[in-house]
Amino acid sequence: MNEPHSLAVVVAHPDDDAYGCAGSIALHEDDPGFRFCLVLATDGGAGQISKGVPTTPEELGAWRRRESASAWQAHGRIPDRHEWLDYADGRVPEVDFEELVGRILEILLQERPQVVATFGPDGITGHRDHIAVGRATDEAFARARETPGPGLRRLVHGAMRASTFDRWNVSRQRQGLTPWDPTREYHLRPVPDDRIDIEVDTSAVASRIIAGLLEHKSQRDVLIDPGVDPRRWARIVSRESAVLAWPGRPAGSALLTDLFEGL
């Protein structure tokens, strides 16, 4: 008997989960036995506050926790488990590595998801928290697999195609915006197209991804360039790309079109 599809998304901040896997979750929500676990290392309390959002730096973390819950309600598939590790935003690299690995490992052993999704070494934006969480999740996944049992079949890293990165930078320059610089923290990091292993067409559920994104009101200015009509997000979120961190894709094999393809 095949295992039910299950996914654990391990990220650093509320809204890190808004891209990358939200479409895949919507596409699989009706699979028999589907389970979705979301792990957030921080509440994002050191983030920016977009104009007009009625919160303060002191209350931002609590505000973003509520935004996270609202985002998944708007998306339409609330996590079966929504776990907060409660580390300080911006200071995850200072956490003892063994402690961080141990806490993620405990969750992975309890859940034993088929697929674990997190950040790669680039953190997508080079954010220090992203990199620390991704590194710890990779180690926790490897250790979890040492304990026999179901699940833990695939580890994936969210990624941005280099061709997409280049296209977006051309668009930014046309709008008079500063191009993304992959040597700077908080700027997008491209992955060469030939290193992308999974590409999911999420156009059919783009409206649900956008509905979730719109609930992260405090981070509106971070999530989308100023002046961009949110209606254009449908094209932006119509594809989810990832790298197979484990096991690797055999040389010459076709690009996967689904997080669970072949499992």
Does residue 252 lie within any of the structural domains?
Answer: no
Does residue 132 lie within any of the structural domains?
Answer: yes
- Confirm if 156 and 242 have CB atoms less than 8 A apart: yes
Per the structure, the complete domain to which residue 23 belongs is given by 6-160+189-246
Render pLDDT for 67-76 as a digit per residue (tens, 0 to 9): 999 999 999 9
Does residue 258 lie within any of the structural domains?
Answer: no
What are the angstrom distances between the C-alpha of 14 and each of 41, 121, 164, 225, 245?
Answer: 9, 20, 24, 18, 23
Does residue 170 lie within any of the structural domains?
Answer: no
The answer, yes or no, to whether residue 110 has pLDDT greater than 70, is yes
Domain count for the chain, please give it.
Answer: 1
Does residue 120 lie within any of the structural domains?
Answer: yes
What is the per-residue pLDDT for 233? Answer: 79
Q: How far apart are CA 104 and CA 87, in angstroms?
A: 13
Task: Tokens for 127, please give them.
Answer: 């954010």
Does residue 71 lie within any of the structural domains?
Answer: yes
Percent of residues, the chain, with pLDDT higher than 70: 97
Does residue 167 lie within any of the structural domains?
Answer: no
From the list 106, 95, 192, the residue with the least C-alpha distance to 141 is: 106
What are the angstrom distances between the C-alpha of 7 and each of 22, 29, 35, 108, 145?
Answer: 11, 11, 6, 10, 15
Does residue 257 lie within any of the structural domains?
Answer: no
What is the per-residue pLDDT for 158? Answer: 97
Q: Where are the beta strands (DSSP E) in 111-258?
A: 115-119, 154-158, 160-161, 190-191, 198-201, 239-246
What is the per-residue pLDDT for 142? Answer: 98
The answer, yes or no, to whether residue 140 has pLDDT greater than 80, is yes
The answer, yes or no, to whether residue 241 has pLDDT greater than 60, is yes
CATH code for the domain in which residue 33 is found: 3.40.50.10320
Q: Say whether pTM exceeds 0.85.
A: yes
